[in-house]
Structure 1
Amino acid sequence: MSEFDPTPTHRNFYGRRHGKTLRQSQKGYLSEDLGSLRPRGITVEENPDRTPIDPAAIFGDDRPVWLEVGFGGGEHMVAMAARYPQIGIIGCEPFINGVAMLLGKIRAAGVSNVSVHPGDARDLMDVLPDGSISKAFLNYPDPWPKARHHRRRFVTPEHLIPLHRVMAPGAEFRVATDIPDYMRQTLEEVPKAGFALVHEGPEPWDDWHSTRYEQKALREGRVPHYATFRR
């Protein structure tokens, strides 16, 4: 099997899947809401042949589809869904506590143009058709600060090559981080995967919605940086 085999039988996952004990309300969100919001045909168990899924079947029409990789607590994803009701957003997050937080925010905001994959974004990208994503977000990803762990970061070929494939020509890829070395690697690796740098700096996008991780960074004196790439 090659390093970037599109149909892996096993892939390493680094990071947490569970955190603090969930509140009873969060357990309710998971049991009552996740099933109807989760896209089908993503897991190997559901789709062993890795047959491409139809994004139009997720949202019921052919609206533009956006992707948020690692949505954390869901603040940005829900804000984008509310601001742009004409699009559909798929969020990927393997940390179940974050999924529960997102589901609570979805209920509170009343948005219906969202889909939630509670797992690895690579599994979703395996089965998305070529050019099916109109915009993608990577907000405050796990920094993996130790040098020997940099290969675990999202901005590596293992993730960026599939991302390039599923994004439409001209689609925008946004990255936000407060870790200078993460931005350094982003600026080095993302263009190699076929994306053109449009802008990078300390100014966020006009429609940016801050996340809990950004607020923590600001409290601790770290400076956020934002980069925009074009597929």
Structure 2
Amino acid sequence: MPHPPLRSFGRIKSRVIKPRQAALMDSLLPQIRVPAEPFEPRTLMPEAAEVWLEIGFGGGEHMAAQAARRPDVLILGAEPFQNGVASALRHLDEQQLTNVRLKDGDARELVGHLPDGGLERVFILFPDPWPKARHHKRRLVQADLVAELARVLKPGGTLRFASDWADYVDWSLERFTASPDFRWTADRADDWRTPPADHVTTRYEEKRLGDCAPVFLDFVRA
């Protein structure tokens, strides 16, 4: 029996979840949780013009903002941190967003259940950097995930990676550019130093917990 992949995230819960958010975990989450087996995303929202995926949505601010901007897009979100899931549910409930479906667990399981070429866009924003060298094997961005993301993205689809840890930026750029399936779109330094026009800055990003200014890497599926 194959071993499950190493965890690419740390703790899954910290403080006690607030009562209102806990109630949403019991009521709203079961309604919008993605299936636990292979599925066709557009069956969840047949009228969707596109399907996007956010891997590790944190507190859900970015995901909710993108969903509000594009109500015609189905956004799949995956996050193992239960407090983050609870926070995201609050955003969805307050804004009455109906075009988001969630995986409260490892994003790699969700990606593995998606069909070939089923996505138009992927976001990986400020994932756990695992800065110590002995922990690099736990980083989310690995060659096998890059290959899986290439499988589920349609040709011409886009992927955005962002981090404020310089070594993780270099690590991820090396792995994506090593794949024949992805093309880095940057032509000049401002292309990765300046937040993209459609980026949504979150409270986590504003804390600047890394060792460099945020870097944004945009790729196109060849």
Q: TM-score, normalised by structure 2?
A: 0.91
Alpha-carbon distance, 1:128 to partner: 0.4
Correspondence for 1:209: 200
State the identity %. Answer: 40
C-alpha distance in 1, partners of 2:3/2:164? 34
Question: In the TM superposition, what whole-angstrom CA distance separates every residue of 1:182-209 from its partner, at most 9, and x where no partner exists?
Answer: 1101110012232110025211111110
Aligned residue number for residue 104 of structure 2? 118
Cα distance in 1 for partners of 2:124, 2:202 equals 12
Distance 2:19 2:62 in 1: 24
Q: Which amino acid aligns with 1:227?
A: L
What amino acid maps onto 1:198 in structure 2?
Answer: T
**Separation (CA, whole Å) in 2 of partners of 1:13 and 1:145:** 15
Supply the AA of the counterpart residue of 2:29.
L
In the alignment, structure 1 residue 197 sits paired with structure 2 residue 184 = yes
Displacement after TM superposition at 1:221 (Å) = 7.8
How far did 1:11 drift?
3.2
For residues 106 and 183 of structure 1, the distance between their equivalents in structure 2, rounded to whole angstroms, comes to 30
1:11 and 2:5 correspond: yes
Equivalent position of 1:28 in the other structure: 23
Q: How does 1:41-190 map to 2 (within 5 A)?
A: 42=36, 47=37, 52-190=38-176
Q: For structure 1, list consecutive stretches of 5 or more residues without a partner in the other structure.
A: 2-7
Deviation at 1:131, TM superposition (A): 0.4
Letter in 1 for 2:6: N
Whole-Å separation in 2 of the counterparts to 1:103 and 1:124? 18
Structure 2 residue matching 1:97: 3-state secondary structure: helix
1:60-113 per-residue CA deviation (whole Å, 9 max, x = no partner) reads 335310000000000100000000111110000011110000000111111111
Task: Give, in whole Å, the separation in 2 of the partners of 1:38 and 1:161.
Answer: 25
Distance 1:146 1:9 in 2: 23
Give 1:10 shift.
3.0
Which amino acid is the alignment partner of residue 86 of structure 1?
A: D
**Separation of aligned partners in 1, 2:178 and 2:202:** 28
Compare 59-68 and 127-136 and name the one that shifted more: 59-68
1:227 aligns with 2:217: yes
Distance 2:177 2:204 in 1: 26
Stretch deviating more after TM superposition (135-144 or 53-62)? 53-62
2 CA distance for matches of 1:161 and 1:221? 28
Residue 26 of structure 1, CA deviation: 1.4
Q: How many residues align?
A: 215
Determine helix, strand or coil for the equivalent of 2:72: coil
SS in 2 for 1:228: strand
Residue 37 (str. 1) matches residue 32 (str. 2): yes
- The answer (yes or no) to whether the contact 2:120–2:157 under 8 Å persists in 1 is yes
Segments of 5+ residues of structure 2 without an aligned counterpart are none
Cα distance in 1 between the residues matched to 2:171 and 2:212: 18
User: C-alpha distance in 2, partners of 1:114/1:89?
Assistant: 5
Q: Normalised by the size of structure 1, how large is the TM-score?
A: 0.88
Q: Deviations over 1:21-78 (max 9, x none)?
A: 11111111101100011011x2xxxx4xxxx311111113353100000000001000
Deviation at 1:158, TM superposition (A): 2.7
